Chains A and B, each alone.
Chain A
Amino acid sequence: MQPTELSATDLVTALRQGDISAVDCAAAFLDRIETANGSINAFLAVDRDGALAKAADIDARRRAGRPVGPLAGLPVALKDVLCTTDMPTTCASRMLAGFRPPYDADVVARLRRADAVFLGKTNMDEFAMGGSNENSAFGPVRNPWDLSRAPGGSSGGSAACVAADMAPVAIGSDTGGSIRQPAGLCGITGLKPTYGRVSRRGLIAFASSLDQIGPMARSAADCALVMETIAGHDPGDSTSLAAAVPRYTELLDKPLAGVRIGRVPEHYAEGLDPEVAKGVEEAFAVLKAAGATVHDVRLPHAKYGIPTYYLIAPCEASSNLARYDGAHYGYRTEGYRTGGYRTGGEHDGAQGKFESPLVEMYCRSRAEGFGPEVKRRIMLGTYALSAGYYDAYYAQALRVRRLIRQDYLDAFRSVDLIGGPVSATPAFKLGEKTDDPLAMYLVDLYTVGTNLAGVGGISFPCGFTKAGLPIGFQLQAPALAEPLLLQAADRFQRLTDWHRRRPRPAGEARA
């Protein structure tokens, strides 16, 4: 078997046993990227030299009998929202084109210490805002199962590169579904951990109270393996949880017998694609066969999830993205570049459009540096936080968020997990929703609740449509119940082979 066809778990074993060298492993994935990325556009930057050098160093250490980290030689792709010292970090935005952070994100540092090999930075919706990856300033990612379709977002590049065998593991971030939804649409497994389980330090913020980093891979077992490295307390992130990190991989074998899984009737309302509904029902049947019991639970405020999310996230984003002002780093409008001073700009004279040169620089830099969706959300958030509107919008959204969190707490008194669809439809066509922002916002319908409640969720494939598109299944769990999420998903994957299906020939299909 080609290294690119192996799971992360098998790769780590093969590397440890010397069945394959880290250099050969890295080269195989880099070659695969060279072949497939042109049509998929999953990577914004590929670090061939860095990856091969790191792999050679690992091989040398192994040969010399020197210690290597637990993921030694495992290739990993990083969503371009994570700060890396050795690769640009752009958030798929013109605003940060070419930006090179002076520090590694905590997850990046942990993976580096574990001797993972970074292949490159993956494409995404600009500043992680979007559900189709069409909001990237560097072109959309194409779904490896059908290149005319979107991979989902915002971690679309991370999902697509794993689906197309360009990386065994990718790191994503999930603010309202950005790991789980693209994982579902690309037929891979993605875990959004409990808020605070993985440090956000060095994750470029979209909505700080919702953002969480997680693994995306071919299986729950692979996600468990990566979680052991990336999870844990970081004193540099005040919202990071102090709880000890379980050995996720060792907890997978527990049987599902007696595990109570909730099924939310509200999930089956109008708009759910019948093929998706069928796939989800079949998944419940598999879990039942594995010994779990299924019970109806209510999430009465779930219907307010989207409006709540689309107030809180833009409010926080409007503030988080204020730092991109052209003054200190990142994109600055022509005419205000270093050493130059624009004269005769539109700030001049009584008819001036701007009150000062400074304001002109701010306005132009931000107007030119940000894409339309980012600007839309900044405006939404700015408006909702403004005097006179705060109570009606932001404060109200916080109150509803507490109700949604309470729904989950109540539901988890009677069940251990909540199951259901990840998204209402399989992968949609590129361009299908770009003219209708509201329709695009609804792709997060089933996923935002997890973030608003601060709990964990996992998404994995549970079938395919007649057209050959993956259908995703989502499980949600109480805070810090990642072991149970991974155990249930792994059990499902021991009984099914949906997660083993590959789009063939991925990336070489019709464009």
Chain B
Amino acid sequence: MTAASYTTIIGLEVHVQLLTRTKLFCGCSTTFGAAPNTQVCPTCLGLPGSLPVMNRHAFELALRAALALECRIAPFTKWDRKNYFYPDLPKGYQISQFDLPFSSDGCLEVVDPKGGFAPRKVGIIRVHLEEDAGKSMHDEAAGRADSRIDLNRAGTPLCEIVTQPDLRSPQEARAWLNELKLLLVYLGVSDCNMQEGSLRVDANVNLHIPRPDGGIAKTPIVEIKNMNSFRSVERALTYEAARQWDEWQATGVEMGRMPKQTRGWDDPAGVTRAQRAKEESSDYRYFPEPDLVPVTVGAEQIATIRAAMGEPPVSLRRSLATRWNISAYDADVLVNQGRGLVDYFEDLAARLGEGKVASNWMQQDVLRILNETGGTVDSFPIRPEALADLVGRVMRGDFDTSRGREIFAEMVASGRSVADVVAGMGIATVSDDEVIALCRELLAANPKIVADVRGGKEQAAAGLIGQAKKKNPNVNPGKVRAVCLDLIRGMG
């Protein structure tokens, strides 16, 4: 049996921090990076007698996410307490949702425009809302065992998204996570910044291995934690699938013969390691949170949120391609850069009345600079109207494309307008009369080339263009060629 003869079965559990100003159950700020324990109050510190009050905005953001994930919204949802002891959980319980999550049964499709895998519809089992815990920092240097707790994050709203085990490869998992992140950022639900912990992923994986008798052997499910980028999700899953394959070949142990195992991803070492069994034998003793009242969601609220939701990436790709007559691939590239870039593109395309050229400039020039500088389109030094001015002139033939790129580079560097850059670079627009005069002069001086062209060798005209550039560097070579050919034909 070869390694290729198994199917990798993957399900994901994603936690995203919602983009609210304040925490889920108190008025403390959620801003990242403040000094430890400065964004806290009696409620998120879990002081005696403190009570939670639900943040309506957080609930609305969560609803927006669930609707975009095509989930069914529960008309009635409640809060539950998940009980466990840990120093970064000051109440000794987390307010979460257990048996009646506010939404369930959704899906999100991922398509690889390069065709690396077939389009995959991934089912969403549930999306629920819960509060985050604080952060523990363990300092075990110098033989000490100090732990420091920062409760700034305690109480921050989190959306937990649990998928069906529908993904079939680490590549698909990574692509799907990219699609999820894109969607949530489009919706303004989360910034999905993994470095700041606003998006966290755990993955469940096992293998389905066909047996000679026609049955399927299933390896024990492993939950992988501690992956801090989509790339490490892909790497960890790839490693884990291979590890399970090796283990199955060695032991033949199948699912159900041992409890679900949790393994942590060690990124530098590139391996997953078993975590202590103790950590997963917890009984959270969920029960309804008596300090909060159940939440009811009506059709009207759903309609309001849907109306304000904006176009999600999946339909934006289609509509962008149709609206601007660009390829599906181009639309995909643009949409995957986020809402800001799409807005920029549409502004540019509208000013030019042309989608394909705008798309080329976006992909070849704007994106190249953004990738080089690591900036975002919002802070891109050339605004759409200025770029439209430049590209419009190139389209009209005022400059050739390479001259246009030089001007573009200077505009990026200096932030100046096309006119200023053109003046500063000593570039003057050459009028049609000037071009015709120049071409007449060149034809008179080059009877051999004229004869060659008339003899059918149009490519001989290239010799004229070099000379024209020497006489006037601002002249558009394409135009010189066209005018020269016209004049030669006119000589009869």
Contacts and interface: CB of A to CB of B under 8 A. Distances in A.
Interface of A: 82-83, 89, 91, 96, 99, 101-103, 105, 200-205, 207-209, 235-239, 315-316, 318-319, 321-323, 325, 327-329, 341, 355, 357-358, 362, 382, 385-387, 390, 394
Nearest to B283: A387
B85 A329 contact: no
Nearest to B87: A327
Given A319-B81, A325-B85, A325-B92, A235 B53 contact: yes
A387 B83 CA distance: 12
A279 B473 CA distance: 116
Interface string B78-120: 0001010101001111000000000000000000000000000
Give the bracket for the number of chain B residues in contact with chain A: 20 to 34
A208 B48 contact: no
B144 interface: yes
Interface of B: 42, 45-54, 81, 83, 85, 87, 90-93, 144-147, 149, 278, 283, 285-287, 290-293
28 contacts: A83-B48, A83-B49, A96-B48, A99-B48, A101-B47, A101-B49, A201-B51, A202-B50, A204-B49, A205-B291, A208-B290, A208-B291, A236-B53, A237-B53, A239-B290, A316-B290, A319-B93, A322-B85, A323-B46, A325-B85, A325-B92, A327-B90, A355-B278, A358-B87, A362-B85, A385-B285, A386-B283, A394-B287
A239 B293 contact: yes
Given A101-B47, A235-B53, A382 B285 contact: yes
Nearest to A104: B49
Contacts of B149: 327
A89 B292 contact: no
Given A238-B292, A322-B91, A328-B90, A357 B287 contact: no
A322 B92 contact: yes
A323 B92 contact: yes
Given A319-B92, A355-B278, A238 B51 contact: yes
Contacts of B147: 358
A325 B144 CA distance: 22
Tell which of A321, A327, A358 has the most Cβ of chain B within 10 Å.
A327
Given A316-B287, A325-B92, 8 more contacts: A101-B47, A204-B49, A236-B51, A238-B54, A239-B293, A323-B92, A329-B47, A386-B285
Contact of A237 (B48, B51, B91): B51
Given A238-B291, A319-B81, A105 B49 contact: yes
Nearest to B43: A236
Contacts of B144: 341
A103 B48 CA distance: 10
A82 B48 CA distance: 9
Contacts of A386: 283, 285
A323 B90 contact: yes
A319 B285 CA distance: 9
B221 to A, nearest CB: 19
Contact of B51 (A99, A200, A329): A200
A385 B284 CA distance: 9
A318 B81 CA distance: 11
A342 B409 CA distance: 65
The 9 closest A-B pairs by CB, nearest first: A322-B92, A208-B290, A385-B285, A209-B290, A204-B48, A202-B49, A327-B87, A83-B49, A323-B46
A207 B288 CA distance: 12
Contact of B48 (A101, A207, A355, A382): A101
Q: Which of B50, B87, B149 has the most CB of A within 10 A?
A: B50
Nearest to B285: A385
Contacts of A208: 290-291
Nearest to A342: B145
Contacts of A202: 49-50
Nearest to A358: B87
Contacts of A102: 42, 47
Contacts of B92: 319, 321-323, 325
Given A238-B293, A323-B91, A325-B85, A205 B49 contact: yes
A105 B47 CA distance: 12
A242 to B, nearest CB: 11
Contacts of A238: 51-54, 291-293
A456 to B, nearest CB: 19
Contacts of A382: 285
A102 B146 CA distance: 27
Nearest to A105: B49
A83 B42 CA distance: 11
A341 B47 CA distance: 25
A341 B92 CA distance: 23
Contacts of B47: 101-103, 329
Given A237-B51, A341-B144, A362-B85, A322 B290 contact: no
Contacts of A355: 278
B429 to A, nearest CB: 67
Chain B CB within 10 Å — which of A83, A319, A341, A357 has the most?
A: A319
A327 B91 CA distance: 11
Nearest to A235: B53
Contacts of B49: 82-83, 89, 101, 105, 201-205
